[in-house]
Amino acid sequence: MSCIEHFNLDREPFSNAPDARFFFNSDQHSQALVRLMYAVDSNKGLAVLVGGVGTGKTTLARRMLDSLPDDKYESSLLVMVHSGITPEWILTRIAMQLGVENPAEDRLTILRQLYERLLQIEESGRRAVVLIDEAQMLQTRELMEEFRGLLNLEIPGKKLLNIVFFGLTEVEDCLRLDEPLAQRVALKYNLRSLSVETTESYIKHRLQVAGAKRMLFSSDAIPAIHGYAGGVPRLINTICDNCLFEAYLQKMKLATLKIVHSVAGDLGLLHKPLSGAAPERPQDELDDIESILDRLEQKM
């Protein structure tokens, strides 16, 4: 019998793989989406969503992409996978994803092709939207200048392209590389860590989507999970996933506080601040959430 079968689930509830079925519409994620949609609906040009590691930026970016109907928008999502990206690569990829066929090799020709394509989109009654995930990877002034140039593609009284950056707090440093671009940010929203109450709702939501008919964590386990995870959704998933597996190995029907402490120790999280009685075992090698997540992802 597998762990999923042991708890009578339909699927894994706490996988960190992107899955739209598990999207948790917390108050702040809902507010963020409303504001970002307003920015593109109103042709604001540039909007920015900032959040810490694991707070749900990528999930929200995909959610926004799914919320942009094809009859009203020509939209695309680009993920910046490393900091070595060039302005030419950015320009070519945006042109291709917005429907430019056979982009030219030189920059000026691509810009002309893109401008003509944006005019076609505008004439069809739609808006062009480009979502940039992991925007903190845009670490050169040349890249920021390229985006400023793209925002200059407009007709009298109307912008032809809307851009939304999703990134870590470092994205603000990237924007400051080109002050005129930083001044064009029409809307910015910051994602925060989840509260204890929202963490409980988040866990219940994922369990319900996975087919759970009951709560699989004891009531005193929730504050401990929140404390060890610092309210970060990705880390909450990792802890909960390990807790359910440990409960399965022990043939238990509920993940208890004792199991949470044990899992936190295995994951190197016992130094984390915790409201409640948790053993205190500082670990100098892990001093923030980002380093914890990096370490966990290396194990996976």
* pLDDT-derived band at 282, boundaries 50, 70, 90: very low
Amino acid 286: pLDDT: 34
Burial 92-110 (b: 16+ CB within 10 A, else e): bebbeebebeebeeeeeeb
Q: Indicate the DSSP class of residue 2.
A: -
- Predicted confidence at residue 83, as pLDDT, reads 80
pLDDT of residue 279: 37
The tokens of 166 are what? 């999703």
The answer to whether 257 touches 218, Cβ cutoff 8 Å, is yes
Element containing residue 64 per DSSP (H, E): helix 57-66
Q: Is the pLDDT of residue 105 over 50?
A: yes
Query: Distance (Å, rounded) from C-alpha 73 to C-alpha 40?
Result: 9
Q: What is the per-residue pLDDT across 115-168, written as a single tens digit (0 to 9) for each?
A: 999 999 999 999 999 999 999 999 999 999 999 999 999 999 889 999 999 999
Mean pLDDT of the chain, nearest integer: 89
pLDDT score recorded for residue 187: 96
- Confidence class for position 295, pLDDT limits 50, 70, 90: low
- The second-level CATH assignment, the architecture, of 27-191 is 3-Layer(aba) Sandwich (3.40)
| Rounded average pLDDT over 247-253 | 96
Structure-token pair, residue 138? 């845009």
User: Class assignment of domain 3-19+194-299?
Assistant: mainly alpha
pLDDT of 284 over the 70 cut: no
CA distance 279 to 286: 16
Query: pLDDT value at position 287?
Result: 43
* DSSP β-ladder status, 185-191 and 46-51: parallel
Contact 58, 168 (CB under 8 A): no
> What are the percentages of helix, strand and coil residues in the chain, rounded to 5?
50, 15, 40
**Is pLDDT of 283 > 50?**
no
CA nearest 193: which of 52, 35, 27? 52
List, edge to edge, every strand of the sheet that includes 127-133: 73-79, 127-133, 161-167, 46-51, 185-191
Residue range 13-37, pLDDT digits in tens? 999 887 888 888 889 999 999 999 9
User: What's the pLDDT band for 296 if we cut at 50, 70, 90?
Assistant: low
Q: Using CA atoms, how far apart are residues 94 and 19, in angstroms rounded to an integer?
A: 25
pLDDT per residue as tens digits for the range 194-217: 999 999 999 999 999 999 999 999
101: three-class secondary structure by DSSP: coil
Rounded Cα distance, 217 and 204, in Å? 9
The radius of gyration computed from the CA coordinates of the chain, to the nearest angstrom, equals 22
Partnered with residue 46 across adjacent β-strands are 163, 185
Q: What is the DSSP string of 210-251?
A: TT-SS--B-TTHHHHHHHHHTT-HHHHHHHHHHHHHHHHHTT
Q: Which of 285, 241, 225 is nearest to 14 (CA)?
A: 241
* pLDDT band at 273; cut points 50, 70, 90: low
**Residue 1, both tokens:** 């019998």
Report the distance separating Cα 78 and Cα 81, nearest Å. 9
Decide which of 210 and 282 is more confident.
Answer: 210
